[in-house]
A = this chain, B = another copy of it.
């Protein structure tokens, strides 16, 4: 019998909905923190197949989630292309900014997949260790989201440096996005070959793009990755994570990009889902802060998702990544409530 997450991604309503949690392998878990402390740098952990496998499996063992998502980071792509990438504890990623054609020329034209071999090895190990009903997810960042880090060298409010450069040097921006489309497509194909059954593309920063830039920088590049992956590996399923619920979401729905759309916590599913055709599955969208709070706010958030998603192909999830302060018992409670046990 087909795995629940894959049934939903094929358009079938499954009840109770399968559940996993964005960033489920992470700092809120004591067993993750223990392993993390021994693992060297964050990138060392991402590139250690045995440890990346172990970390990926931790939340599956603890909560029996219906999907395991590869433990990695969206910035392994710029790193593999040759950009200097570091993760500074409590601050986030720091990159040597790429802001000109000359900077871009110093990066690899075609992503050297051999540099990402540990990721593929981790996927193989995870696949071999997962329970038979658990779906293995790969992922990458959407080109605009990744480009915004590559240009600013760090996370920035509303991605202002990248957005300004998109206006000032559209040719450079097109070249950078094209480089990332090709690299991401090759990366996802290789993830599928290594064992990923579905992939999620994280467009974490699409919401701050003005309408004139959303098309060329987000909608079209993500669409090209999805088409490229599906041409190469027709059975691969794709979830696209989007932030914000304005006209950009409408354009994504109308373009029919992806087998599922992962929706953030700001959307009222009861209002939004009727506007999404049933052939597009959905995923989400409890507020990660309601999960930290627990109690009545969490129950109300869980119940609102369940009520709105009933009868639709929907994967239960948070509307953004789980936060380090989250009590593990609240996650247990959420899983039980979703499963009605």
Chain A contacts to B: CB under 8 angstroms: 157, 160, 163-164, 167-168, 207-212, 244-250, 265-268, 271-272, 287, 289-290, 292-293, 297, 300-301, 304, 319, 323
B265 close to A247 (CB less than 8 A): no
> Min CB distance, A261 to chain B, in Å?
13
> Min CB distance, A290 to chain B, in Å?
6
> Min CB distance, A247 to chain B, in Å?
5
User: CB < 8 Å: which of B245, B250, B268, B290 contacts A167?
Assistant: B290
Which residues from B are CB-within-8-Å of A157? 157
A207 close to B289 (CB less than 8 A): no
A211 close to B271 (CB less than 8 A): yes
Chain B residue nearest to A207 in the complex (CB): B266
Which residues from B are CB-within-8-Å of A289? 160, 163-164, 167
**Can you identify 30 A-B contacts, CB atoms within 8 angstroms?**
A157-B157, A163-B287, A163-B289, A164-B292, A164-B293, A167-B287, A167-B290, A168-B293, A207-B244, A208-B266, A210-B265, A210-B266, A210-B287, A210-B290, A210-B301, A210-B319, A211-B266, A211-B271, A211-B304, A212-B304, A244-B244, A244-B245, A245-B245, A245-B246, A246-B246, A246-B249, A246-B266, A247-B268, A247-B272, A250-B271
> Min CB distance, A212 to chain B, in Å?
6
> Min CB distance, A202 to chain B, in Å?
16
Given contact pairs A210-B266, A212-B304, A293 touches B244 in the complex (Cβ within 8 A)? no
> Min CB distance, A248 to chain B, in Å?
7
> Min CB distance, A163 to chain B, in Å?
5
Given contact pairs A164-B292, A289-B163, A301 touches B244 in the complex (Cβ within 8 A)? no
B167 close to A297 (CB less than 8 A): yes
A167 close to B266 (CB less than 8 A): no
> Min CB distance, A273 to chain B, in Å?
11
Which residues from B are CB-within-8-Å of A271? 211, 247, 250
Chain B residue nearest to A288 in the complex (CB): B160
Q: Which of A167, A168, A248, A297 has the most CB of B within 10 A?
A: A167
Which residues from B are CB-within-8-Å of A160? 289, 323
User: CB < 8 Å: which of B163, B247, B268, B304 contacts A245?
Assistant: B247
Which residues from B are CB-within-8-Å of A287? 163, 167, 210
Which residues from B are CB-within-8-Å of A293? 164, 167-168
Which residues from B are CB-within-8-Å of A246? 244-246, 249, 266-267
A314-B265 Cα distance, complex, nearest whole Å: 31
A289-B301 Cα distance, complex, nearest whole Å: 36
User: CB < 8 Å: which of B209, B250, B304 contacts A266?
Assistant: B209
> Min CB distance, A291 to chain B, in Å?
10
Chain B residue nearest to A304 in the complex (CB): B212
Which residues from B are CB-within-8-Å of A244? 207, 244-246, 266
> Min CB distance, A329 to chain B, in Å?
16
A268-B268 Cα distance, complex, nearest whole Å: 21
A267-B248 Cα distance, complex, nearest whole Å: 8
Which residues from B are CB-within-8-Å of A272? 247
Chain B residue nearest to A272 in the complex (CB): B247
